[in-house]
Amino acid sequence: GLGKTLETIALLGFLNQYMNIKGPHLVLVPLSTLGNWMNEFDRFCPSIRTFRLHGTKEERELMLKKLRRGS
């Protein structure tokens, strides 16, 4: 790898911690690397809450409704 994952996590962590920019931020990654990205966020910057938005249109709408409700 070229360090894109860790560089992105470091940037978002910096924005969160030092610039008080909490987001939301949208990070688009290939489906084949999505699980790894989620794990790396948990490992290197656990203070940033991640959310995986993947599925059919109906599934995504349901996920967003649950997220907004805090479920």
Give pLDDT tens digits for 3-22: 999 999 999 999 999 999 99
Q: In whole angstroms, what is the distance from residue 23 CA to residue 10 CA? A: 14
With a cut of 80, say whether residue 64 has pLDDT above it: yes
**Mean pLDDT within 12-36:** 94
pLDDT of residue 70: 81
Higher pLDDT, 10 or 71: 10
**Mean pLDDT within 37-44:** 94
Q: Residue 8 in contact with residue 29, Cβ under 8 Å?
A: no
pLDDT of residue 2: 78
Q: Residue 31 in contact with residue 54, Cβ under 8 Å?
A: yes
pLDDT of residue 71: 61
Q: In whole angstroms, what is the distance from residue 13 CA to residue 54 CA? A: 23
